[in-house]
A and B are shown apart, each in its own frame.
Chain A
Amino acid sequence: MTPPLLTVADITVCHGRRPAVHHLSGRFYPGSMTAIVGPNGAGKSTLLRALAGLHAPESGRIEAPGMKKGDLALLPQQAALDRAFPIGCLDVVMQGFWVRYGAWRAIPPSARAEAEAALAAVGLDGFARRHVGSMSAGQFQRLLFARLLVQDAPVILLDEPFNAVDAKTAADLLAVLRRWHGEGRTVIAVLHDLDMVRREFPQTLLLARDPIGWGPTEQVLSAENRLRARMMAETWSAEAEACDQPRAA
């Protein structure tokens, strides 16, 4: 049995005192393709950010033995980016080279060619000089995927990658995801479309603040589990008391 890539040990991730992820434990194995699903407010984005190292858990541990910074590539939600920033498409893609070249080393011409190839691979051929303010949501999302391609990271985290994109774009980007999975990379994505999850993702984590299920997709996405998730979402109270559950050592 291959050792897990990322182990989550009884983590609780909070915003202030409110838990967004509540006592979650589990493992991500190398080469796995996992969807994180759940109702709105279930802590899915928060979990992803915690895995990427952006949000420290209030209790518990995330273990990633042998992984360096830069092994995890993150696709943030589009809303978090400054679309008005005057930057060209090729420059955005080249940001993916940060892990390889940093601030000090010059970026060679071969890297430029690689960036242009990445643009072509996501269907943005010829967009190198376009500035991001003039792109639609779908084109912009393709651009962010091109940046991920160039990063060449073993673990890829995607936060709602198919929000607000049309069917053709979603299909094209899904093909990129399948390619990554085929290359043996570990893919973890927050998604809303359960049909897509059933079709494409072998593993699912169903989260409604507390974990409801984590394992093979068909088992986790049972009607019973989905009902439980909906009911839990409806009972998130305005007034809650301090948590009694024992914390991890």
Chain B
Amino acid sequence: MYDLLIMPFAEFGFMRRALVGCLALSLAAPPLGVFLVLRRLSLTADVLAHGVLPGVAAAYLVAGMSVPALWAGGLAAGLAVAVGAGALSRATGGREDATLAALYLLALASGVTLVSLGGGTADLKALLFGSVLGVDDEALLLMAAVSTLTLFALAVAWRPLVMEWFDPSFARAAGARGGAWHMLFLGLLVLNLLAAFQALGTLMGVGLMMLPAIAARHWAREVGLMAYAAAGIAIVSTVIGLLLSFHLDLPSGPSIVLVAGLAWACSVLLGPVDGLLPRLVHRRHLAG
């Protein structure tokens, strides 16, 4: 039992760092994902993840696997796509999904081109799929910092964000500058995606943000409880996923996301809210 569950973390520093880093992310990213799910923007995280690729790839070409450079490039590209999509769609008739799709495809193609221009396939694999070895102390510090910043920001922004999305007219009339809080939310989204790339890679980073959030929908009817459920599912997925990747020699990113996917499947089957199996259980209706 000890060998199975504790030993990988007790004996290996890189496993410990990956665990702490991913746990930090599991607290901060899923609540953001819950908001995306509620606003029917579940694909936005994926679009943004592809949007940062050209920035990360360009930084990699210029500076190699330098974490600050990758972050700077990714942040610039991510914010450009996020804010650009919002502003552009508002200025050209409101088709936000179409604008996002256009930007995402453009970004993906540019990113792949840049990466293929650049370098070694080993590094490319690490970039795309993540590498548990990639979480050095510097990366860990960045992941923890992003997580802390996100949690503090959410504590303040929660009320105006919920207000803005439930009733935007009321929010504007009351003077809550919903647009500004929305921009803050997008910024947090990009930061968390970049942080997730360290251990999970660009392809999988979205998974830890979205799958627990989508699963949480089946466990709670209220947005705050959904956020807690999502964080909980993400934490469990992280631990089990890392253990699996260690014992079965699998890449860390896909392992964690596979476990999260399994959690989602269980939620769809068994979750009390809109779950498939609870429908089969007949409960007497209330008296009134």
Interface residues, chain A, CB within 8 Å of chain B? 49, 52-54, 69-70, 72-76, 80-82, 85-88, 91-92, 95, 98-99, 103-104, 131, 133, 147, 151, 157
Asked whether, in the complex, the Cβ of B169 is within 8 Å of the Cβ of A98, the reply is: no
Asked whether, in the complex, the Cβ of B167 is within 8 Å of the Cβ of A95, the reply is: yes
Asked whether, in the complex, the Cβ of B174 is within 8 Å of the Cβ of A99, the reply is: yes
Given the complex, which residues of A lie within 8 Å of B38, measured CB to CB?
Answer: 85-86
Residue in A76, A85, A151 whose beta carbon sits within 8 Å of that of B169 in the complex: A76
Residue in B162, B170, B181 whose beta carbon sits within 8 Å of that of A74 in the complex: B170
Asked whether, in the complex, the Cβ of A87 is within 8 Å of the Cβ of B159, the reply is: no
CB distance from B219 to the nearest CB of A (A): 11
Whether B220 sits at the interface, judged by CB under 8 Å, is yes
Known contacts A81-B166, A103-B157; A87/B176 CB under 8 A: no
Cα(A76)–Cα(B168), bound, Å: 9
Whether B58 sits at the interface, judged by CB under 8 Å, is no
CB distance from B223 to the nearest CB of A (A): 5
* Secondary structure dominating the interface of A: mixed
Known contacts A80-B167, A81-B167, A87-B166; A53/B172 CB under 8 A: yes
Whether B221 sits at the interface, judged by CB under 8 Å, is yes
Interface string of B139-166 (1 = CB under 8 A from A): 0000000000000000011011011011
CB distance from A135 to the nearest CB of B (A): 13
Known contacts A98-B176, A103-B156, A104-B156; A86/B223 CB under 8 A: yes
Interface string of B176-213 (1 = CB under 8 A from A): 10000100000000000000000000000000000000
Q: Which 5 A-B pairs have the closest CB atoms?
A: A69-B175, A74-B173, A76-B169, A52-B173, A85-B166
CB distance from A113 to the nearest CB of B (A): 19
Asked whether, in the complex, the Cβ of A74 is within 8 Å of the Cβ of B156, the reply is: no
Cα(A87)–Cα(B226), bound, Å: 11
Given the complex, which residues of A lie within 8 Å of B226, measured CB to CB?
Answer: 86
Asked whether, in the complex, the Cβ of A131 is within 8 Å of the Cβ of B167, the reply is: no
Given the complex, which residues of A lie within 8 Å of B170, measured CB to CB?
Answer: 74-76, 95, 147
Cα(A147)–Cα(B173), bound, Å: 13
CB distance from B152 to the nearest CB of A (A): 12
CB distance from B35 to the nearest CB of A (A): 11
Given the complex, which residues of B lie within 8 Å of A98, measured CB to CB?
Answer: 159-160, 163, 171, 174-176
CB-CB nearest in chain B for A96? B174
Given the complex, which residues of B lie within 8 Å of A75, measured CB to CB?
Answer: 170
For chain B residues 206-232, which have a beta carbon within 8 Å of chain A? 220-223, 226
Given the complex, which residues of A lie within 8 Å of B167, measured CB to CB?
Answer: 76, 80-82, 95
Asked whether, in the complex, the Cβ of B165 is within 8 Å of the Cβ of A85, the reply is: yes
CB-CB nearest in chain A for B223? A86
CB-CB nearest in chain B for A80? B169
Known contacts A87-B222, A131-B221; A54/B172 CB under 8 A: yes
Asked whether, in the complex, the Cβ of B222 is within 8 Å of the Cβ of A86, the reply is: yes
Given the complex, which residues of A lie within 8 Å of B173, measured CB to CB?
Answer: 52-54, 72-74, 157
CB distance from B44 to the nearest CB of A (A): 17
Asked whether, in the complex, the Cβ of A74 is within 8 Å of the Cβ of B159, the reply is: no
